[in-house]
Structure 1
Amino acid sequence: MTAETALPGPDSVVRGPRRLPGLGNLPAFARDPLAFLTGLRDRGDLVDWRLGPQRALFVSRPEHIGELLTGVETVFRHPELGWAFTLLLGDGVVTSEGPAWRRKRALVQPAVRPRQVRSYAGTMAECAAALADGWRPGQCVDVRREMLALTQRIAVRTLFGAETAGREDVIGSAMDVAQRAIGAEFRGLTLFLPAWVPTPGRRALRGAVGVIDAEVGRVTEQRRHSGEERDDLLSRLLAARDEEGRPLSDKEVRDEAVTLYIGGHETTGTTLAWAWYLLSRNPGARARLGRELAEVLGGRTPSFDDLRLLPYTEQVVKETLRLYPPVWLMTGIAKEGSTLGGLPLAEGTVVWSSQWSAHRDARWFPDPGAFRPERWEVGAEPAVPDHAWFPFGGGARACLGARFAMVEAVLVLATLAQRFHVDLGPGEVAPRTGLTLQPGSPMPARLRNVEQDIPEARLTRTQE
């Protein structure tokens, strides 16, 4: 793609960095995707580049991002996400298109509506309280591992109920293998290899997906055979019917269950790990969070009804999602006759946007590298433009589990942070790109009891 064939006009499209024959900008992208995409943003709002043989356009302005997010299924085709990603998620609501996507979304959406998410809140807080009961002051923990294990338990209980008790680690280990395989494929040349080409990563992924399929199939068969209805996501998937009265097939149930599992486990666990990292390095924010929790909860486990009383806790989560968005990349493929910003796009152009670079753009977020939860206070200035913050995507294909994830993150953080300080070491933790934006190294931390700080926090609050 060139500026002339994609978006005409010398002031419309900026040519990207120098590209290699046949490879385009793939080597630079593979070395450090986040730095590469940030570099594209700094070149201009519309940047022409190539990922291997693919013609690509990178967009950075919120209005252009909004066109991309809201135009998938109409102006843009849903992108092919690679062999590894598709093998894991199958033909679920994330990967399907057209009528199949509309049918599946209609069937899955009722399971994650606000009323249903409310019913899962008790399990979220209960699991978090059980973890806190097992923590001890002075204990050293790996924050990332602790948060992923916790959200894994929550995801398994809310999704499958009791049938997987004692089997959480089996699913979790398989998901870890899948995460690494998808990240490795996306950053390397195997993204463009035919599906039949064997690689060590692909063999490992096939084994992991086999484990996941067996576990999900076992639970689904048990539930169908028992005929028992429960208040979990699997029961809702099994009970769902489309307009013609057709249920989801076992394969469709498997695909949607895996998609919901990843959304409820991987993304939220990662967000919580990053939240502890940021709070540990920002004692002022941690103190303000503690004051809110002490005043509202007074030591009791939070419930769904407490969410509206914990605005700063939610702001901490939103600011964490700004700085370390689990989903860090969105793409769409231009259809024939597509436009963006009123300018024509060549058919087949892959339009890219990045939560990582947009969320750290100083035009929309002053002092973008700073952790400032108060950005999200009602009436705060400057106001954040629409589509400058999009951790859950947007438009018709916005993440169905967004409400579930926010409720889970706020309740877990409130439950744990009112009882413990989590003090991470001084070293920097760099992010690693994969299926989600994960911490690139262990996150060792020492636990400290928060009770001794509560009287002081209340006194400070009164003085304010």
Structure 2
Amino acid sequence: MTTVPVPGPRRLPLLGNLPAFSRDPLAFFTRLRERGDLVEWRLGPQRALFLSRPEDIGELLTGIETEFRHPELGWAFKLVLGEGVVTSEGPAWRRKRALVQPAVRPRQVRGYAETMADCAATLADTWRPGQRLDVRDEMLGLTQRIAVRTLFGADTAGRESMIGPAMDVAQRAIGDEFRGVTLFLPPWIPTPGRRRLKRAVTVIDREVARVTELRRRGDEDRDDLLSRLLAARDEQDRPLTDKEIRDEAVTLYIGGHETTGTTLTWAWYLLSRSPGARARLTRELDDVLGGRPPGHDDLKQLPWTEQIIKETLRLYPPVWLMTGIAKADSTLAGRPVAEGTVLWSSQWSAHRDARWFPRPDDFRPERWDPDAAEAVPDHAWFPFGGGSRACLGARFAMVEAVLVLATLAQRFHVETDPGDIPPRTGLTLQPSCPLQATLRPAAG
């Protein structure tokens, strides 16, 4: 099947569609999807194609590293993540992926499950019925503690206050670039945001180096992610360098903290607006756990809890866009694609396509029931990407989100204030304003 591209919205000289994209990327992508499955537009001077059909999205995702490459990343992104597995290409990427992947395989993730549940239980111990709180602050604080403990080990408890604020600055700077705010500024322009970012990266580098040196000097076996990175060896028996350790540690931290904290924030928002789904969650947790803390062995017995997370990832995917650039003259969707063409797809847009998800704006965890009549095509739901560049931490993120939700929800209802809260694009898809809530006992 050959798909003929249709023209996108009217563009401006030189700027193309950049103003409309920067102003509201999610609405812009939705308008592109409504025009057709393959839409031509321009991001400044760059020719771009927007993909909406799952088969075409699959071609893009599986073609990264062969037919397509990642676009040039912004200055902030490269400064923060360095040359880690997310930013590398070609042989360097293959080597690093092979070294990092064993640290997040299912068997290793199983060992981190107890830490995830323990951190969530510790947070629940500080909560009180009637308490008012900011849901995003609570969830990001929790996933930050989990990230620090699983990455650096239990003896770093309390170090979140060192690295956490610096990571927040870094993530905001990357988010500005994602929206095009600073993407086209030359690196030598010293904006206030860039000066803050440089100071933040200095803090991050110093803390990672400190813990790395402690691990190198230690004589006991440890099970944290950093220790696994230090022990990794490639086919030539070469370890990761200190710079590579730093880059992978920061990548794992951001992937394990920001995305899962964001997912849990939106999950509470959706559950608060869906009493039926929340009641079914309470019944499942009561039946399976009976008041005891959840563990890794309980995951298969908590299908509704997992379906809530999957539906949250559909409606509010933390990663909301994917891009690739044609390495050479190629084809996609049965038509020629010229070298240098930028190919875009958006989880936000694809996940809300009524062709694959009936009543797409409704929160319906039941659509993920194993026997559901609504079959979801491959690559219509891709919160963790796909192909060879799929997120290495996908299993870690799902286990963490399910265990945290189960631990907290069996003790409290998190009743968010009424009213719609639109998302704000950045490094991840965050609520555009504070998400305030009141705690109620789950038994009530």
Q: Shorter-chain TM-score category?
A: over 0.9
User: For the residues of structure 1 that align with 2:143 and 2:409, how far apart are their CA atoms?
Assistant: 16
Does the alignment pair 1:285 with 2:284? no
1:379 paired with 2:371, answer yes
Aligned to 1:215: 207
Q: Work out which of the residue numbers 149, 152, 164 in structure 2 matches 1:160.
A: 152
2:52 aligns with 60
TM-score normalised over the length of structure 1: 0.94
Q: CA deviation at 1:163?
A: 4.3
Distance 1:319 1:172 in 2: 28
- Greater CA drift, 271-280 or 420-429: 420-429
Counterpart selection for 1:37 from 1, 26, 29: 29
Q: Provide, for residues 408-437 of structure 1, a one-character-per-residue CA deviation record: whole Å limited to 9, x for no partner.
A: 000000000011000010122111111111
Alpha-carbon contact 1:76-1:338 (below 8 Å) kept: no
Give the aligned partner of residue 461 of structure 1: none
One-letter code aligned to 2:37: D
* 1:328 match: 320
In the other structure, the counterpart of 1:307 is 299
**Match in the other structure for 2:96:** 104
Give the alignment partner of residue 294 of structure 1, picking from 280, 286, 290: 286
C-alpha distance in structure 1 between counterparts of 2:156 and 2:424, whole Å = 30
Structure 1 residues 71-80 or 108-117, which shifts more?
A: 71-80
Partner of 1:186: 178
**C-alpha contact (below 8 Å) 1:16/1:47 kept by paired residues:** yes
- Whole-angstrom distance in 2 between the partners of 1:188 and 1:378: 40
For the aligned residues, what is the CA RMSD?
1.2
Counterpart of 2:115? 123
Supply the distance in 2 between the matched residues of 1:159 and 1:183 (Cα, whole angstroms).
Answer: 23
Q: Deviations over 1:57-100 (max 9, x none)?
A: 10000000000000000010122221111111100000000000
SS in 2 for 1:387: coil
Helix, strand or coil for the counterpart of 1:191?
A: coil
Structure-2 separation of matches of 1:374 and 1:111: 33
Deviations 1:98-123, CA, capped at 9 Å, x for gaps? 00000000000000000000000000
1:12 maps to 4
What's the offset of the Cα at 1:229? 2.4
Question: Does residue 1:449 correspond to 2:441, yes or no?
Answer: yes
Cα offsets for 1:432-455 (capped at 9, x unmatched): 111111111111100000123xxx
* Deviation for aligned residue 1:286: 0.3
Matches within 5 A, 1:142-291: 142-188=134-180, 190-291=182-283
Return the offset for 1:170. 2.2
Q: Secondary structure at the match of 1:192?
A: coil
Mapped pair 1:76 → 2:102: no
Q: What is the match of residue 408 of structure 2? A: 416
- Alpha-carbon distance in 2 for matches of 1:366, 1:81: 35
Q: What is the distance in 2 between the residues matched to 1:223 and 1:413? A: 32
Contact 1:181 1:204 in 2 (8 A): no
The superposition leaves residues 289-347 of structure 1 with CA deviations (integer Å, 9 ceiling, x where unpaired) of 11100100011000000000000000000000000000000000012132101211010
User: How far does residue 226 in structure 1 lie from its aligned partner after superposition?
Assistant: 1.9
Could you tell me how far 1:189 is from its partner in structure 2? 5.0
Identify which of 376, 393, 397 aligns with 1:401.
393
- Measured in 1, the distance between the counterparts of 2:371 and 2:377 equals 13
Which residue of 2 is the match for residue 4 of structure 1?
none
Question: Quick check: 1:389 aligned with 2:360?
Answer: no
- Residue segments in structure 2 that go unaligned for 5+ positions in a row: none
Whether the 8 Å contact between 1:358 and 1:388 is mirrored in structure 2 is yes
How many corresponding residue pairs?
444
- Normalised to the residue count of structure 2, the TM-score between the two structures is 0.98
Q: How far apart are residue 198 of structure 1 and its match?
A: 1.9
User: Mean Cα displacement is larger for which, 264-273 or 425-434?
Assistant: 425-434
**Matching of residues 416-435 of structure 1 within 5 Å:** 416-435=408-427
* Distance in 1 between residues matched to 2:73 and 2:58, nearest whole Å: 20
Secondary structure at the aligned position of 2:357 is classed as coil
CA distance in 1, matches of 2:49, 2:193: 29
Q: Secondary structure of the equivalent of 2:183?
A: helix
Partner residue in 2 for 1:3: none
Deviation string 1:260-303 (CA, Å, 9 cap, x unpaired) is 11111100000000000000000010001111001000110000
* 2-structure distance, mates of 1:250, 1:71: 31
Letter aligned with residue 371 of structure 1? F
**In the alignment, residue 56 of structure 1 is paired with which amino acid?**
A
Aligned equivalents of 2:180 and 2:401: distance in 1?
A: 32
Once the two structures are superposed, residues 11-51 of structure 1 have per-residue CA deviations (whole angstroms, 9 ceiling, x without a partner) of: 61010111111111111111101111111111110000011
Instruction: Give the equivalent residue in structure 2 for 1:114.
Output: 106
Cα distance in 2 for residues equivalent to 1:330 and 1:143:
28
Amino acid at match of 1:68: L
Q: Distance in 1 between matches of 2:275 and 2:399?
A: 24
Contact 1:84/1:182 (CA < 8 Å) preserved in 2? Answer: yes
2:123 partner SS: helix
Task: Report what 2:350 is aligned to.
Answer: 358
Structure 1 unaligned segments of length 5 or more: list them: 1-6, 453-464
Q: Distance in 2 between matches of 1:180 and 1:403?
A: 25
| Amino acid in the other structure paired with 2:118 | E
Give the match's secondary structure for 1:445.
strand
SS in 1 for 2:220: coil
Q: Percent identity, please.
A: 79
Equivalent residues of 1:15, 1:48 under 8 A apart: yes
Match of 1:460 in 2: none
- CA deviations on 1:126-166 (whole Å, 9 max, x unpaired) are 11111111111111111110000000000000000134322
**SS of corresponding position for 1:88:** helix
Question: Residue type of the partner of 2:93?
Answer: W
Shift of 1:186: 2.6
1:387-415 Cα shifts (integer Å, max 9, x gaps): 00000000000000000000000000000
1:211 Cα deviation from its structure 2 partner: 1.1
1:25 and 2:17 matched: yes
